[in-house]
Amino acid sequence: MAYPSMGEAHRRITDYLNKFGDAVSYQDVASLAQLFSFSSNSPSLLSLADALNFFQDANRLIKQSDKFSQFGEILAPLFRSLQSYRLGNLVEAYHAFEKFANAFIQEFRNWESAWALQALYVIAYEIRVLAERADRELSSNGKSPEKLKGAGSFLMKVFGVLAGKGPKRVGALYVTCQLFKIYFKLGTVHLCRSVIRSIETARIFDFEEFPRRDKVTYMYYTGRLEVFNENFPAADHKLSYALTHCNPLREANIRMILKYLIPVKLSLGILPKTCLLEKYNLLEYNDVVQALTRGDLRLLRHALQEHEDQFLRSGVYLVLEKLELQVYQRLVKKIYFIQKQKDPGKAHQLKLEVIVKALKWLEMDMDLDEVECIMTILIYKNLVKGYFAHKSKVVVLSKQDPFPKLNGKPVNS
C-alpha cells in the first residue's frame, strides 16, 4: 500500500473533519452517515484510514479548532477505530467504535430533532457487524467471544434513547431489529421480550408509522418467536404480514420468511403448491407436503430424518414432527374412502386391524395397542370425529364430517 505523503495525509484528515463538521452543522445526515459506514469500505474511508495510520497525530488536528474539539470525544475514538479496522485488528476497532458510538449517542441525545437518525442507524448496524467480526477474531484466538453481547447491551442503550416520546421514536424499531439479529444469533431470544413489550404496548406510536422495512423485519423475527412458542395463528399472522409487506424483489428475504411460514401453514392445514417450493428453493418441505397429501407416514419420517439437522437448526423440527397426526388423519381418511367404496353401509366403522395393516404396508411396525392409542389421540385432538369401542377394537366415525379440516385453525391441543 502506498503511503500518502505527510501533506496528503494531513489533507485527508482535515477533509474528513471538515465533512463531519459540515454535516453536523447543516444537519446533512446522508453525508454524516457515510462518514461512519466502515463496512461500505468506501475508498474515501480507506484512504483516510491509511492517512491516519501514517499521520499519527490526528488528535492534534481535532484539538486545533474549536469546531472539532467539541466533538473530540466522538472523533478521536472514531479515528482510532478506523485505524484498527484498517489494520485488521477488529477487537481493537470494536472497542474504539463502541466508545465513539457512546459519545455519539450522548451528542444525539442533545439534538432535539431526529435529523441524525440515519447516522444512528449506520452506527447501530456497524457496531453489530463489527462485533460479529470481532467475535470471530476472538474465537479464532481461543478467547471467549463476547463483543456481540456488548453490542447488544449498547443497542439496548440506544433503544432507551429512542423509545421515548418524540420524533426519535421512529428509529426505535430499527434498533429493535438489530437487537433481534443479535439475540437470535446469540441464542438469547428471551431478551427480546422487553423490547417487544415496549414496542407493542406503546399507545403513543402506531406501529404502522414505523418504516416499512423495519416493520417487515420486526414481524419476521417476532413471527419466528411465535413459531418457537408453537403459537401458530400468531406466527401465521406475523409472518404473513412480513411476506405481504416485504419487497417482492428480494427473493432471499421472501425465502427466509417462507422457511417459517410454510411449516406454520402446514400445521394449520394449508399446503403450499410445489411451484412455490421450487421457486424459492424450499424443496426440503416437498416431501413433507407430499406425505401430508398422501397420508404417507413413512415419507414424513423419512423427510424429517433426512433434513433433521437443517430443521433442528432453523427450529421447525418440532413443528414438522407434529404434522404426524395430520398424516395419520389423512391415512385413516383414505381407508375410510376405500371402505366407503366397498361397503358404504359399514364405512364409518373402521376396524383397528385394517389400520394396523395399512401401517404395515408403510413399513410402520405398530401393534394394536399403539395404534389404538394413536386413534384415541386423533379423536381427542378432534382430527377424527367419532369414538373408539375398546371391546370390539373399532373406530366408529361420525357420519357427519368425520374428518374435519383444520382450515387455518391449529390442531386441538
The CB-side HSE value for 399 (13 A sphere, CA atoms) comes to: 3
Segment near another protein (CB under 8 A); pick from 63-71, 250-258, 384-392, 401-409: 384-392
Which neighbouring-strand residues pair with 351?
A: 394
> CB of residue 311 vs another protein: minimum separation in angstroms?
9
Q: Give the nearer residue to another protein in terms of CB position, either 124 or 225.
A: 225
- Only segment of 31-39, 70-78, 309-317, 402-410 that touches another protein (CB under 8 A): 309-317
Q: Which of 75, 90, 320, 325 binds another protein (CB under 8 A)?
A: 325
Least distance CB 232 / another protein (angstroms): 13
Exactly one of 11, 322, 333, 334 binds another protein (CB under 8 A); which one?
A: 322
Q: Which is nearer to another protein, 12 or 238 (CB)?
A: 238
Considering the complex, what minimum distance in angstroms separates the CB of residue 373 from another protein? 4
Query: Which region, judged by CB under 8 A, interacts with another protein, from 57-65, 80-88, 97-105, 386-394?
Result: 386-394
Q: Which helix (H) or strand (E) holds 345?
A: none
Cα angle value 235/237/241 (rounded, 5°): 115
Q: CA neighbours within 13 Å on the CB side: how many for 302?
A: 13
- Least spacing, CB of residue 192 vs another protein, in Å: 12
Q: Which of 132, 135, 284, 372 binds another protein (CB under 8 A)?
A: 372
| Spatial distance between the Cα atoms of 180 and 166, rounded to a whole number of angstroms | 23
- Kindly tell me which residue out of 3, 6, 389, 399 binds another protein, with binding defined by CB under 8 A: 389
Stretch touching another protein by CB under 8 A, among 46-54, 134-142, 320-328, 357-365:
320-328
- Residues 154 and 127 sit within 8 Å (Cβ to Cβ): yes
Task: Measure the CA–CA gap between 196 and 218, rounded to whole angstroms.
Answer: 9
Report the nearest approach of another protein to the CB of residue 392 (Å): 11
278 binds another protein (CB under 8 A): no
**Can you say whether the dihedral through the CA atoms of 353, 354, 360, 362 is positive or negative?**
negative
317 touches another protein by CB under 8 A:
yes
Q: Of 102 and 231, which CB lies nearer to another protein in the complex structure?
A: 231
Q: Does 373 bind another protein (CB under 8 A)?
A: yes
Under the criterion CB under 8 A, does residue 129 sit at the interface with another protein? no
Cβ atoms of 217 and 193 within 8 Å: the answer is no
Could you please report the per-residue DSSP string of 177-197?
A: HHHHHHHHHHT-GGGHHHHHH
CB of 347 to another protein, least distance (A): 19
Check residue 146 for interaction with another protein (CB under 8 A). Answer: no
Segment near another protein (CB under 8 A); pick from 14-22, 124-132, 288-296, 307-315:
307-315
- Tell me which residue of 267, 290, 268, 292 sits closest to 277, measured CA to CA: 290
Q: For the chain, how many residues are written?
A: 413
Per DSSP, 271 falls in state: P
Site for another protein in 332-361 (CB under 8 A): none
298-331 burial code (b ≥16 CB/10 A, e <16)? ebbbebbeebeeebeebbbbebbebbbbbbbbbb
18 touches 66 (CB < 8 A): no
CB of 380 to another protein, least distance (A): 4
User: Least distance (Å) from another protein to the CB of residue 331?
Assistant: 15
Binding mask 197-236 for another protein (x = CB under 8 A): -------------------------------xxx------
Contact 133, 184 (CB under 8 A): no
Instruction: Rule CB under 8 A: say whether 184 interacts with another protein.
Output: no
Identify which range of 36-44, 68-76, 165-173, 375-383 contacts another protein by CB under 8 A: 375-383
Rounded CA-CA distance 195/191 in Å is 8
Torsion (CA) 255, 256, 262, 267 in degrees, nearest 10: 180
Q: State the Cα–Cα distance between residues 313 and 143, nearest whole angstrom.
A: 25
Q: Give least dist CB 286 to another protein, A.
A: 22
> CA 248, CA 231: separation in Å to the nearest integer?
26
191 binds another protein (CB under 8 A): no
Return the residue of 6, 87, 283, 377 that touches another protein, per CB under 8 A: 377
Q: What are the residues facing 387 on neighbouring strands? A: 396
| Contact footprint for another protein (CB under 8 A) | 187, 189, 228-230, 309, 312-313, 315, 317-318, 321-322, 324-325, 369-370, 372-377, 379-380, 387-391, 396
